[in-house]
Each structure stands twice: as C-alpha cells, then as structure tokens.
Amino acid sequence: MSDLEHAVLGVIWLRQPCTAYAVRQAFEQSPTAHWSGSAGAIYPLVRRLEQRRLLRSAARRGDKRATRLYRLTRRGLAELQTWLRPPLPDAPGLMNVDPLRVRVRFWRALSARDRQAAIEEAQAKLRRQLARLAARTRGLRAAGDEFGYLVGRGAALSIRAQLAWLREVRDRLAVIGP
Amino acid sequence: MSDLEHAVLGVIWLRQPCTAYAVRQAFEQSPTAHWSGSAGAIYPLVRRLEQRRLLRSAARRGDKRATRLYRLTRRGLAELQTWLRPPLPDAPGLMNVDPLRVRVRFWRALSARDRQAAIEEAQAKLRRQLARLAARTRGLRAAGDEFGYLVGRGAALSIRAQLAWLREVRDRLAVIGP
DNA sequence: CCGCTCATGTAACTGGTTACATGATTTA
DNA sequence: TAAATCATGTAACCAGTTACATGAGCGG
C-alpha cells in the first residue's frame, strides 16, 4: 500500500464520517504540493480501500445525490497504526526531498549574478510561505488540533533550515567568487 | 520537462563526457530515495533528450559495446540554466516533502507508547543518516566539489531540523499526555 | 575461464495527473 | 434563478518502477 493510500486512511480517520470530496479538499488545501488530491486519484482509491474492508460507507440521509460518508473499519484503523508504528522506512526514505537543494547541486552552471537572483527569489518565496504557514498553524493550535499544530511547527522549522542554509550558500559563494 | 529530466541534464553536464550508466549510478548512490535511477527511467529519457538536441553522443573509441558518451549541446546547457534561474516553482513546489511529518499528522491514532517508540526509531535512523552524510560531505569538500559540499550541508541542516522538531514533539506530547 | 562490473535495453505495470462530464444543493 | 459549491466519476495520458534479458570487458 502506498503512502497516499495510508494518508487517505489517516485523513478519513481524523474527520470521519466524511466524503471522498472532503479528502480531496484536505490534500488540495495542504501547503505541500506533493499530492494534488485530484478526483482521478482519490475516488478510485477510496473505492479500493472500501473493497479491502478498510473503509465502510453509508449514504447521507436526506441527500438525493450519490454522496457517500466514509468511516474506518477496525481493520482500517489497524492498518493505519501499522503504517505509523515502527519499523519506519529506511533512512533514505525518511529523508525529505528538497526541490531547492536538487537545483543548487548544478549551480556551477550559473553566473554569479544568476545565483544571487535565485537565492533572493527563493528567500522571498520561502518567507512568504513561512508567514502563511504561521497564520495557519496558530489557527490549528487555537482549535485544539495538537498534531496539526506540531506538523505546522515541523514545516516551519524545515523552512527556517532552508533559509539558514541559503544564507550559508550566499556567504560561501561570496567568498569563493565565480 | 520534468525535474528528473533537468536533473539528468545537470548530472551529465557535471560529468561530461559520461554514459547513461554513470547517470544511473549517480541517482542510485544519492542519499535521497526520490529517484531510483532505474534503467527503465534513464535510458529512454536520455534518448529523448538527445532527440531534442539537448544532448549529443559519441561511441567510446576502442569499445565494441554499444556504449555511448553523452555531452550537453549549447541548447542543453541553456535549458539547464533556464531551469535553475528564476522564476523558481511557486512556494508550495519549493517546500520540501517530509515523510516523517506526513505520518505525525495522524499520530493521534497511536498510543503514547507507540509514539515514543516511533520517535526513538526516527531519531536513531536520522542520526545514522547524518553520520553517513557527514563523511560523504567531507569527501566532497576535500575533492573541491564546492556545490556538492553545499548540498551536503543543506541535507545535514535539514536532518538536524527534523531532529530538533522531534525533540519538540516529544516534549509537547509528554506535557499533554495521551 | 569464472564471476563481477560495465553498459544498454525493453515489457508490463503502477500510481498518479489532466481534463472532461454530470448533476444535486446551496447561496446571493 | 443564476452562479457557486458540493459531490462523484471516467478516459486518456504520463512518468517512473520492477523485473527481466543481453552481452562486452576485466580482474583474480
């Protein structure tokens, strides 16, 4: 089972009973762009999870649409817990993937001016992202969503690490020149 | 064009002239597990890049195999630079994806004991990864690979941020209890 | 000469995305 | 009542993985 399948299980567990549409929104509104929450991904996936008896569903009463409300079965919760508990994926699979870092590997191909510009743009975008995230995270904390808050903190620390790293990159490149 | 295609362009630019096989190894040996560097990905991709005149290739002299040595064309280098220069992807696409953070979002489904165990395992794996990375990065610095070194520093800072975050998670969960 | 590494390749599959389509319900 | 949102779905596509196959070159 893929990480997306497990994450969907998790989202439904947090919000149950909820529709597949609500799951889509949860992914669409997520600050990371890793999963789009596209209809073509979510609806077939949710159906698969129900066929495997990890989810069960019921029609929303007094709704003439095909709307279905999903909940986790006991097996579904067990599967979610197995995914969350040790053993975790190996260290490489645990390391996060940074699209900025991927690019910097090849910055030798850039002029000093272009590097400078790239650093400044990345800093600006990351700072804006950090501000958005902070607002969002405060809301979660106020709403009593402890784990949502912690995840927000993790994202913030991660962006700060990126910013600190960018400063290091800037300083070092200034020293070594073109 | 995908990030992998651009990254392949970058790897070849750094090592040219080099074989597609060498590109595969570069991805396989990378500390992140994001791209496997599988044959089924790399060989067709490199051929595509050559058809688009971003790469050119020649047979290795005195080698009766089908070995081909690739270089970037002027267009290939221009394409690489365009990818590296601003505008960068939007902030969400610039944020890194952390498989650990994804899981913690759902830790409410875990008992206090299991959370504790998960934290400890993650810490252990991240510390080991950090040690491996440090050794590797020292080597790059010694070899005069300035950008390789900086990327290693970025990865190290990122792992340290993860570890700092895990400490925060541990402390906070200890306070709020089950 | 045997086994390992170098080197290329393909077929079947998987796990998504994009784009489109439909219709019920709610809100201005 | 029109527009926006809720809600589900599918077809075509795409990028990348797994697994397999082939063969040259090289070191012990």
Tokens of B44: 């067709």
Q: Which residue of A has its CA nearest to B91?
A: A125
pTM value is 0.94
Count CB neighbours of B126 within 10 A: 21
The answer to whether B14 and A106 are in contact (CB under 8 A) is yes
| Mean pLDDT across chain B | 94
Confidence of residue A178 (pLDDT cuts 50, 70, 90): low
Q: Residue A32: list chain B partners with CB under 8 A.
A: 92, 95, 97
Q: Is the peptide bond before B99 cis (omega within 30 degrees of 0)?
A: no
Is pLDDT of B84 > 80? Answer: yes
**Helix A146-176 and helix A112-142, axial crossing angle in degrees, nearest 10:** 160
For the CA of A38 and the C1' of D10, the distance in angstroms is 13
The greatest distance separating any two alpha carbons of chain B, rounded to the nearest whole angstrom, comes to 70
- Over residues B33-50, the pLDDT tens digits come to 899 999 999 999 999 999
Is pLDDT of B126 > 70? Answer: yes
Say what the pLDDT of residue B157 is.
Answer: 97
Say what the pLDDT of residue B171 is.
Answer: 96
**3-state DSSP assignment of residue B18:** strand
Instruction: Determine which helix (DSSP H) or strand (DSSP E) holds A55, and give its type and residue range.
Output: strand A55-59
- Over residues B109-124, the pLDDT tens digits come to 999 999 999 999 999 9
Q: Which residues have a Cβ under 8 Å from the Cβ of B77 and sit 6 or more positions away?
A: A109, B13
- Find residue B58's DSSP bridge partners: B69
| Mean pLDDT across chain A | 94
Is B151's CB within 8 Å of A104's CB?
yes
Instruction: Determine which helix (DSSP H) or strand (DSSP E) holds A11, and give its type and residue range.
Output: helix A3-15
- Over residues A56-110, the pLDDT tens digits come to 999 988 787 889 999 999 999 999 999 999 999 888 788 889 999 999 999 999 9
Round to whole Å and give the CA distance between B72 and B14.
10
**């020293």: which residue's tokens?**
A175
Question: Percent of chain A having pLDDT more than 70?
Answer: 99
Is pLDDT of B93 > 90? Answer: no
Round to whole Å and give the CA distance between B159 and B58.
41
Tokens of A113: 């001016």
Among A13-17, A20-24, A135-139, where is mean pLDDT lowest?
A135-139
Confidence of residue B62 (pLDDT cuts 50, 70, 90): confident
Question: Percent of chain B having pLDDT more than 90?
Answer: 84
Question: Percent of chain B having pLDDT more than 70?
Answer: 99
Round to whole Å and give the CA distance between B157 and A122.
17
B67 Cα to chain A: minimum distance (Å): 25
Considering CB atoms only, which of B114, B126, B148 is closest to A105? B148
Residue with CA nearest C1' of nucleotide D11: A40
- Find residue A83's DSSP bridge partners: none
Task: Verify if strand D has an atom below 7 Å from the CB of A20.
Answer: yes
Instruction: Determine which helix (DSSP H) or strand (DSSP E) holds B6, and give its type and residue range.
Output: helix B3-15
Say what the pLDDT of residue A177 is.
Answer: 62
Instruction: Determine which helix (DSSP H) or strand (DSSP E) holds A71, and give its type and residue range.
Output: strand A68-72
Say what the pLDDT of residue B159 is.
Answer: 97
Instruction: Determine which helix (DSSP H) or strand (DSSP E) holds B56, and give its type and residue range.
Output: strand B55-59
Say what the pLDDT of residue A64 is.
Answer: 79
Report the Cα–Cα distance between both ends of chain B, in Å, rounded: 47
For the CA of B102 and the C1' of D9, the distance in angstroms is 28
Is pLDDT of A141 > 70? Answer: yes
Confidence of residue B178 (pLDDT cuts 50, 70, 90): low
Say what the pLDDT of residue A176 is.
Answer: 76
Is pLDDT of B125 > 80? Answer: yes
Say what the pLDDT of residue B114 is.
Answer: 97
Say what the pLDDT of residue B165 is.
Answer: 98
Round to whole Å and give the CA distance between B155 and A101.
8
The answer to whether A159 and B101 are in contact (CB under 8 A) is no
Considering CB atoms only, which of B108, B125, B154 is closest to A91? B125
Average pLDDT over residues A128-134: 94
Is A125's CB within 8 Å of B154's CB?
no
Among A50-54, A89-93, A104-108, A172-176, where is mean pLDDT lowest?
A89-93
